[in-house]
Structure formats: C-alpha cells, structure tokens
Amino acid sequence: MHNQNLLKEQLKNKINQKTKPLGALGELENIALQIGLIQNTLSPNLFNPVIVVFAGDHAVAQSGVSAYPSEVTYQMVLNFVRGGAGINVFTKQNNIHLEVVDAGVMGDFEENLPIIHAKIRKGTRDYRYEKAISLEEYQLATQKSHEIVQNFHKKGTNIIGFGEMGIGNTASASLIMHHLCNIPLAECVGAGTGLDKKGIEKKLEILQQVTDFHKITTKNPLDIALAFGGYEIVMMAEAMKKAKELNMVIMIDGFIATSALLLAYSQNNDILENCIFCHTSHESGHQKILDFLGVKAILSLNMRLGEGTGTALAYPIIQSAVNFLNEMASFEDAGVSKELNV
C-alpha cells in the first residue's frame, strides 16, 4: 500500500511536469493516473483491446416490457456476424477486437458461425412466475464467462469492454438496480429501446408485480441475479469479476452493463479501481447508478444503443490519456518556462 501511494505521487508528478498548465487535461489526467495505478507503472500501455458482446433472451420480453420482439436478439447476432451493427462500425474504426457470445439466445445458431457458443438456455425463465436463472445455470455461466476473459488475457489483452444484446434486458437491469441501490422502482424503469409513456407505465406495473412476487429483502447479488437474470447480464458480471482478478482495465458501457457491474461491485467494491465508465446512457436510470457508485462517465452523447457502443466510442479518449502520459514532453525536456510566482 505504501508503494501504491508512492507510485500515485510519482504519476501525479509526471502528469504535472508535462508541458501544459496544471490540470489542463482534466479527466484525461484522472484516466492516466488510474491506468498507471492499475498497471503499477509510470508508463502504462493498452494492449489488444477487446469488446465482448453477450447476447441473451428474456421470457418476460413477450409480456410488453419492450418495444421490440425477442426475435431481434437472434437477428442482431447475425447482424454482428455480418458486420452491420453499430458496434461493428465503431470497433472496426478504432481497431478493437469484437467478440460475440451467445449467452442465451432463443434461436439456434449454426455451429460454424464465428461467435462463442455459450448458450446456457434458450432465454431465461419468466420471472413473473419463477426465478429467471437456476443456480446450476449461474455456475455454468460463471465458468464460461471466466474462460472467455482468461483466453483474452492469455493473448495479452489488458483492456476489455463488455456489451450486451437482449430484448427485454433493461427490465432486468431496472430490477437489479432497484434491489442493490435502494432507489424506488419508478426511478429505475425507463423507455428501453423506445417505449412511450404508456408503455413505461405498463413496464413499471409488471416489474412492481415481479418485485412483490420475489420479495427479496437482502442485498445478496446472487439472489438478485437468479431472480431477475438474464444470462447475458450474469455473464457480464462474472466476466467483470474475472477481468478484475486478472487486473485488466474494464470499460463499462451503459445502463445494462452498469447493472451487471452492480452485481460484481456488491461482492467487491474494489472492482471500481479497474473500471472506466465510458458513457452516460440516455436511459433514465443510468445517471442514478453512476451517482450511486460516485463515478463520472467520459462521454454523454444521449446514446442508448447498448452492444458496448459507448465503450468503443470512448476507447480513443482512453488511448489519448495513456498517450499523453507516455509521449508529451516535460517542461524540462522542452525548455518551457513554468508558472510565474505571482
């Protein structure tokens, strides 16, 4: 711990010696400091960046909590494979490896499709009547998601982002948020992919019934995950835990990814040391989770697409933070005068 404090001082000193007014790079300085501390070095780097998109379906999606039908999850996975989705465009632009995981999509994919086949079940159970996920399924999801992260770590990846695709999954995220953040359910429920006011009211009514049915009074993240799912969310949560264990930089996307982080955070608050919050979603609950965690995101562009798109768009900014720390000249290097003693 003493060494970490020393490194922190050295990093701050290195940042302050760069040819710029003190603090003039704002949040970039905080990001550079954070990554230096994670990697325990004055000269951090980002290697083999990866975004993993977990896809899964939700039985409840059929009941009116989403503006889109469940088939869209399956169709969007095919769109990812063909390169036509937002996340494809942004990862390609920014040289980020994209990996798609079938965590629990209702449809069957051909075996030779270039995705990771980790289907736990064809969609979660309907949490209006039973737990969404069984304990055995959770354990399988844990094992598979840990393997995925471990494999990227072996290839040298030291920064990883997580995204999701799952019609109906803002409903799960709202339930997780409500139970872990002590925030009234109405403040956790939003438009998702595009419900109107009446649709949001109906979604809230359903989720209130679900809350009453499960009656979870503890803050045990496992209980909450099993009750409300989905497979893509629990795989994200476990993947984040593994990425923390392997000391990677973890890029956090929007509302659903942050609800997955809440599950991991409830077990180990220290995970925040490794997390970079990439964007604030337009989905109404997201800002409140960020406030709960006491963090600020890099981008705020009124986006609400998911798929990890916020992490892909923020990645160049994270790279810029590392680059200025490594590449900018110091006052001494450049022969630039420092502040006047006024």
Radius of gyration for the chain, computed over Cα atoms and rounded to the nearest angstrom: 21
Residue 68 or residue 292: which is nearer to its own copies going by CB?
68
332 catalytic residue (yes or no): no
Three-class DSSP labels, 215-259: CCCCCCHHHHHHHHCCHHHHHHHHHHHHHHHCCCEEEECCHHHHH
Q: Is residue 12 a contact residue for its own copies (CB under 8 A)?
A: no
Q: Is residue 174 a contact residue for its own copies (CB under 8 A)?
A: no
Residue 4 or residue 341: which is nearer to its own copies going by CB?
341
Residue 91 or residue 266: which is nearer to its own copies going by CB?
91
Q: Which one among 7, 12, 16, 20 touches its own copies, defined by CB under 8 A?
A: 20
Q: Which of 137, 307, 327, 332 is catalytic?
A: 307
Of 18, 23, 4, 29, residue with least CA distance to 320: 29
For the CB of residue 93, give the shortest distance to its own copies in the complex, in Å: 6
* Tokens encoding 135: 């304990």
Q: Is residue 67 within 8 Å of residue 199, measured between CB atoms?
A: yes
> Site residues for its own copies, window 55-114 (CB under 8 A)?
64, 66-69, 71-72, 75-76, 78-79, 82, 84-86, 88-90, 92-94
End-to-end CA distance of the chain: 37
Q: Is residue 199 a contact residue for its own copies (CB under 8 A)?
A: yes
For the CB of residue 221, give the shortest distance to its own copies in the complex, in Å: 28
Verify cis geometry, omega within 30 degrees of 0, for the bond prior to 192: no
Residue 207 or residue 237: which is nearer to its own copies going by CB?
207
The one segment of 47-55, 131-139, 191-199, 227-235 that binds its own copies by CB under 8 A: 191-199
Distance CA 140, CA 243 (A): 17
> Site residues for its own copies, window 269-298 (CB under 8 A)?
282, 298
Q: Which one among 8, 117, 194, 268 touches its own copies, defined by CB under 8 A?
A: 194
* 3-state SS class at 168: coil
Partners of 52 in the β-ladder = 99, 162
Distance CA 339, CA 199 (A): 58
> Site residues for its own copies, window 303-322 (CB under 8 A)?
303-305, 309, 313, 316-317, 319-320
- Which secondary structure element, helix H or strand E, spans residue 159, and what is its range? strand 159-165
For the CB of residue 251, give the shortest distance to its own copies in the complex, in Å: 15
Q: Is residue 1 a contact residue for its own copies (CB under 8 A)?
A: no
Q: Is residue 142 a contact residue for its own copies (CB under 8 A)?
A: no
Residue 61 or residue 140: which is nearer to its own copies going by CB?
61
- Cβ neighbour number for residue 100 with a 10 Å cutoff: 27
DSSP character at residue 130 = S
Which residues are CB-contacts of 6 (< 8 A; sequence separation ≥ 6)?
Answer: none
For 261, how many CA atoms within 13 A lie in the half-sphere containing its CB?
A: 29
For the CB of residue 199, give the shortest distance to its own copies in the complex, in Å: 6
* 3-state SS class at 21: coil
For the CB of residue 131, give the shortest distance to its own copies in the complex, in Å: 27
Backbone φ and ψ of 18, nearest 5°? -65, 150
For the CB of residue 56, give the shortest distance to its own copies in the complex, in Å: 17
Distance CA 214, CA 133 (A): 13
Q: Is residue 34 a contact residue for its own copies (CB under 8 A)?
A: no
Q: Is residue 11 a contact residue for its own copies (CB under 8 A)?
A: no
Q: Is residue 56 within 8 Å of residue 73, measured between CB atoms?
A: yes
For the CB of residue 21, give the shortest distance to its own copies in the complex, in Å: 4
| Residues annotated as catalytic (active site), given as ranges | 307
Which residues in this chain contact its own copies in the complex, by CB under 8 A? 18-28, 64, 66-69, 71-72, 75-76, 78-79, 82, 84-86, 88-90, 92-94, 193-195, 199, 282, 298-305, 309, 313, 316-317, 319-320, 323-324, 327-329, 333-340, 342
